[in-house]
């Protein structure tokens, strides 16, 4: 509450002395004395405010009015008309003083009101300044926090994409392994029957009769059996080798040694990837390798294999019946360049600038995460390289992976 | 919060005419100066105007003596209506014993009336007046102008408000003293409660209003 104290209020009742203020001086006294001779001006409480000489106690007295009531009296042994006129002059002076007093107090009031408002605004500004300072300080921490959150999310997405490609890989690998396992098992069944046939000769051999032995030998068709047995085992060894090779190739994709950097022959990686994905590709397209001689590359082989596999799968999806996928390698301007070309559907011009954007996909919902190329680009960038793309709709697409031999 | 000065045997009652700019507050005071016939009537003091607009305030002092000899002195003030003079408005409203809110009946003034009324309530709270208990009369002025809200519309809008509504044309003097006497009734009740006007000073409500020469 900011109610005025009554003592301060602009409209409080003022005493004669207060009203006269500076005028209650010799000067006014001189003028009144000139008009009235000896006089006395006193307030409601009979206290003299201004006087000149001494006034007889029975001299005429007249009220000095302010508003509607007297604030004091003027007494002098003068003509009553003169006394009235003098009292009126003093009243006019008082009225004017009262106006001045009220206006100036009110003006003060307005100024202090404005000042208080400015103070409040100032305080509000200080508060908001402090708020923004605090915010600015917090901002850095928040940015760090966000960056951390984004990094975590990115890692999670990368894992998701990896799981998706592992799934694709697993399907291909299952088929690859199933085939040799199938004929190995069939061979082993035949071998088991052959062993039984061979056991059948035991009685004839035990008799020591050469004729009987020859007859049993011929009956069992041992010449063919031994020859076939040999080729069964040979074929099974080849099959087992194939399984062993697939498993060995798969190690390139296992996460165990993914963080490690190694010097590798990139051509070897490409061959491995083609072996792993070969079955899946050859159902649709002809795979042509045109691998030039390459120096060893310092890289993270697991990641590079991921890139090659993803791009190979992309190319496979792009080509139609009797498509062709060509992978060539060469050294150009200190970079190893891997070109993966297909003669498939191509990429529309308006999509070309967006294919590396996260979650951009033209495939049906569920068929692609939209992260494959994003992850590829990030991996290649981490190796200091880049991926270029050229494409014409209907004619095919060429992706070129540049990997610098020196420095990242 | 009237000022009772025992030495001077004087009770000073402060009444304030509040309202938006140019609603006719000063005209109300000029008309009261013309129309009222109290025992004592001072001059209408007008402090600094700019064109027709009050910058500080207007003051009309009036008074009469109760049978006991007590001087009952009224100070009627107007506030400056313009938004900028809020500090002055607050100071003038401070310690008021009653308020006349002078609203402009013209249709295009509805918003100004509302803002000013809200400002009255705010300032009353700021200077420590109990707005709900304070004697208040709402005057809808300028009934002589075209394009004004009808009495029915105004009555409907102010339905539920407990303050008396008076319609006036201050320029021609219509409704001005009616507004004033409507305010004097609750003012008397408040004064009588605090200062025992009837018991100690032989002043009842009728003579209180009559004393002002309404």
What element of type H or E holds B187?
helix B176-195
What ipTM score was computed for the predicted complex, to two decimals?
Answer: 0.83
Helices and strands per DSSP (H, E), number in chain B: 7, 11
Nearest by CB to residue A106, choosing from B40, B56, B95, is: B56
Q: Is the dihedral of CA B81, B84, B86, B89 positive or negative?
A: negative
Nearest in space to B75 (alpha carbons), one of B49, B41, B101: B41
**Mean pLDDT of all residues belonging to chain A:** 84
Nearest by CB to residue B94, choosing from A9, A44, A107, is: A9
Interface of A with B in 111-150 (CB under 8 A): 111-114
**Residues in contact with A78: Cβ distance below 8 Å, sequence separation at least 6, in sequence order:** A35, A36, A37, A39, A60, A86
Contact A69 B73 (CB under 8 A): yes
Best probe of the A interface among B7, B94, B127, by most A CBs < 10 A, is: B94
Residue B110 to chain A, least CA–CA distance (Å):
27
A&B contacts, CB < 8 Å? 82
Instruction: Dump the DSSP string for B114-170.
Output: HHHHHHHHHHHHHTT--TTTS-EEEEEE-TTSSSB--HHHHHHHTTT--S-EEE-BG
pLDDT at residue B85, rounded to an integer:
83
What phi and psi, each to the nearest 5 degrees, are found at residue B197?
Answer: -55, -40
Centre a 10 Å sphere on the Cβ of residue B178 and count the other Cβ atoms it contains.
16
Best probe of the B interface among A10, A11, A46, by most B CBs < 10 A, is: A11
Res. A109 pLDDT band, cuts 50 70 90: confident
pLDDT at residue A64, rounded to an integer:
93
Q: What is the value of pTM for the model shown?
A: 0.58
pLDDT tens digits along A329-356: 999 988 999 999 998 888 888 888 778 7
Instruction: Inform me whether the pLDDT recorded for A311 exceeds 90.
Output: no
Q: Is the Cβ of A68 closer than 8 Å to some Cβ of chain B? A: yes
Beta bridge partner(s), residue B101: B18, B138
Tokens of A240: 């087992």
**Residues in contact with B41: Cβ distance below 8 Å, sequence separation at least 6, in sequence order:** A68, B33, B61, B62, B63
pLDDT at residue A256, rounded to an integer:
46
* Cα separation, A35 vs A58, whole angstroms: 19
pLDDT tens digits along A2-32: 444 455 788 888 888 888 876 667 788 999 9
**What residues of A are in contact with residue B56 (Cβ under 8 Å)?**
102-103, 106-107
Contact B126 A4 (CB under 8 A): no
Interface of B with A in 32-51 (CB under 8 A): 40-42, 45, 47-48
pLDDT tens digits along B107-125: 999 999 999 999 999 999 9
pLDDT at residue A4, rounded to an integer:
44
Q: Is the Cβ of B8 closer than 8 Å to some Cβ of chain A? A: yes
Nearest by CB to residue A110, choosing from B63, B73, B87, is: B87
pLDDT tens digits along A263-285: 889 898 888 888 877 767 777 78
What element of type H or E holds B176?
helix B176-195
Contact A110 B73 (CB under 8 A): no
Nearest by CB to residue B48, choosing from A10, A103, A113, is: A103
**What residues of A are in contact with residue B61 (Cβ under 8 Å)?**
67-68
Q: Is the Cβ of A46 closer than 8 Å to some Cβ of chain B? A: no
pLDDT tens digits along A223-277: 898 999 999 999 999 889 888 877 776 665 554 445 678 888 989 888 888 887 7
- Give the residue on B whose Cα is nearest the Cα of A110: B87
Residue A310 vs residue A185, higher pLDDT: A185
Tokens of A191: 């071998």
pLDDT tens digits along A56-83: 989 999 999 998 889 999 999 989 999 9
Interface of A with B in 195-214 (CB under 8 A): none
Residue B74 to chain A, least CA–CA distance (Å):
10
- Which residues of chain B, if any, have pLDDT below 70? 1, 48-50, 52
pLDDT at residue B150, rounded to an integer:
94
pLDDT at residue A369, rounded to an integer:
57
Instruction: Inform me whether the pLDDT recorded for A184 exceeds 70.
Output: yes
- Give the residue on B whose Cα is nearest the Cα of A11: B92
The fraction of chain A above a pLDDT of 70, given in percent, is: 89
Residue B141 to chain A, least CA–CA distance (Å):
27
């Amino acid at each position: 509450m900011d109610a005025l104290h009554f003592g301060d209020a602009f409209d409080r009742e003022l005493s004669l002395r207060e009203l006269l203020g500076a005028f209650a001086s010799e000067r006014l006294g001189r003028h009144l004395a000139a008009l009235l001779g000896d006089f006395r001006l006193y307030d409601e409480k009979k206290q003299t405010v201004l006087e000149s000489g001494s006034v007889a106690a029975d001299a005429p007295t007249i009220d000095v009015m302010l508003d509607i009531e007297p604030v004091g009296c003027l007494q002098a042994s003068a003509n009553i008309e003169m006394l009235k006129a003098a009292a009126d002059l003093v009243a006019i002076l008082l009225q004017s003083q009262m106006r001045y007093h009220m206006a100036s107090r009110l003006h003060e009031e307005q100024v202090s009101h404005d000042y208080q408002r400015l103070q409040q605004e100032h305080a509000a500004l200080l508060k908001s300044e402090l708020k923004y300072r605090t915010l600015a300080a917090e901002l850095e921490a928040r940015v760090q926090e966000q960056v951390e959150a984004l990094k975590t999310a990115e890692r999670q997405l990368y894992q998701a994409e990896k799981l998706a490609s592992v799934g694709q890989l697993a399907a291909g690998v299952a088929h690859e392994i199933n085939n040799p396992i199938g004929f190995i098992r069939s061979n082993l069944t035949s071998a088991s029957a052959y062993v039984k046939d061979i056991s059948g000769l035991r009685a004839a051999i035990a008799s020591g009769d050469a004729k009987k032995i020859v007859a049993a030998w011929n009956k069992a068709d041992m010449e063919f059996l031994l020859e076939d047995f040999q080729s069964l085992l040979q074929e099974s060894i080849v099959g087992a080798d194939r399984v062993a090779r697939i498993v060995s190739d798969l190690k390139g994709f296992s996460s165990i040694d993914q963080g490690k950097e190694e010097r590798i022959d990139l051509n070897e990686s490409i061959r491995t990837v083609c072996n792993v994905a070969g079955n899946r590709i050859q159902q649709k397209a002809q795979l042509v390798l045109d691998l030039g001689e390459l120096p060893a590359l310092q890289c993270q082989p697991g990641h590079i294999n991921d890139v090659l596999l993803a791009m190979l799968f992309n190319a496979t999806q792009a080509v139609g019946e009797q498509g062709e996928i060509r992978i060539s390698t060469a050294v150009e301007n200190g970079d190893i360049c891997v070109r993966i070309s297909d003669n498939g559907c191509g990429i529309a011009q308006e999509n070309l600038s967006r294919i590396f954007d996260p979650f951009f996909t033209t495939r049906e919902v569920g068929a692609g995460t939209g992260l494959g190329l994003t992850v590829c680009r990030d991996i290649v960038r981490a190796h200091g390289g880049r991926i270029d793309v050229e494409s014409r709709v209907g004619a095919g697409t060429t992706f070129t992976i540049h990997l610098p031999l020196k420095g990242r | 919060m009237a000022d009772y000065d025992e030495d001077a045997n004087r009770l000073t009652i402060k009444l304030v005419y509040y309202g938006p700019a140019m609603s006719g507050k000063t005209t109300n005071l000029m008309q009261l100066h013309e129309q009222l016939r109290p025992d004592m009537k001072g001059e209408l003091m007008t402090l600094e105007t700019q064109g027709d607009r009050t910058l500080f305030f207007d003051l009309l002092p009036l008074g009469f003596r109760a049978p006991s000899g007590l001087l009952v002195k009224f100070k009627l003030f107007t506030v400056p209506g313009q938004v900028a003079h809020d500090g002055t408005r607050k100071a003038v409203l401070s310690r008021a014993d009653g308020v006349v809110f002078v609203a402009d009946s013209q249709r295009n003034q509805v918003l100004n009336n509302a803002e000013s009324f809200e400002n009255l309530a705010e300032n009353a709270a700021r200077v420590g007046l109990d707005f709900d208990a304070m004697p208040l009369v709402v005057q809808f002025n300028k009934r002589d102008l075209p394009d004004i809200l009808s009495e029915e519309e105004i009555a409907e809008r102010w339905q539920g408000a407990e303050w008396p509504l008076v319609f006036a044309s201050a320029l021609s003097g219509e409704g001005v003293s009616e507004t004033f006497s409507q305010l004097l009734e609750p003012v008397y009740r408040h004064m009588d409660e605090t200062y025992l006007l009837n018991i100690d000073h032989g002043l009842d409500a009728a003579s209180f209003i009559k004393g002002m020469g309404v």
